[in-house]
Amino acid sequence: MFDTLYSQIPVAIGVLVVTFAFLKGDEPERVGAGALAIGAMATLLLQEDARLYGLQWRLMIVESIMLAAYVALAWKSRRSWPVWAAALQSVVVMCHLLTTADPRPPLVAFYAVINLASYGILLALAIGVVQAWRERRALGLE
C-alpha cells in the first residue's frame, strides 16, 4: 500500500497535520484530528482492494460516521473549518452512493474525487489549527 513515494507523501502530510492539530489546536481541532486519524486507519483496515466494482459497504459506513462526526463538530463548534470538512466529507459519501446508481463508474474518477476531498479536509483542518493557534497567541495564552 505504501510502497511508492506517491503514496507515502500524502500519508506523511496527513500525519504532520494531525500531529500539528494535537499539539497546537484547541478542542475542536483535536477532536477533528482524532476523527480523521481513526477514520483513516479504519479505512485502511476495511477496504477491499480486490473488489473493483460496486459499493464497498464497510467503507461507506466509515465515511458516513466521519460525516456525522464533522457535522456534529460543525454544530457544536464556533469555528468555520468543520463546515468545510463536513461539506467535503459529504462529497465523499455521495461518491460512494453514486456507485449504487451505476455499479461500474470509472475507478480513476472515484479515487480522484475521494483523494481530492480528503486533501481538502486536511487543508481545512490545518487552516483551523493555524487560526486557533494565532488566536491563542494574540490573547497571550501561548
- Residue 103 binned pLDDT confidence (cut-offs 50, 70, 90): low
105 pLDDT higher than 70: no
Q: DSSP class of residue 1?
A: -
DSSP string computed for 31-84:
HHHHHHHHHHHHHHHH--TT--SS--HHHHHHHHHHHHHHHHHHHH-S-SHHHH
140 with 31: CB under 8 angstroms? Answer: no
Q: Classify 10 as helix, strand or coil.
A: helix
Would you state the pLDDT for residue 14?
A: 92
Helices (H) and strands (E) in the chain, counts: 5, 0
Cα–Cα distance measured from residue 17 to residue 29, given in angstroms and rounded to the nearest whole number: 10
Would you state the pLDDT for residue 52?
A: 62
Tell me, what amino acid is at 53?
Y
- Provide mean pLDDT across the span 72-98: 93
66 pLDDT higher than 90: yes
Would you state the pLDDT for residue 2?
A: 66
The set of cell numbers assigned to 122 is: 486536511
Contacts of 11 (CB under 8 A, 6+ apart): 2
10 pLDDT higher than 80: yes
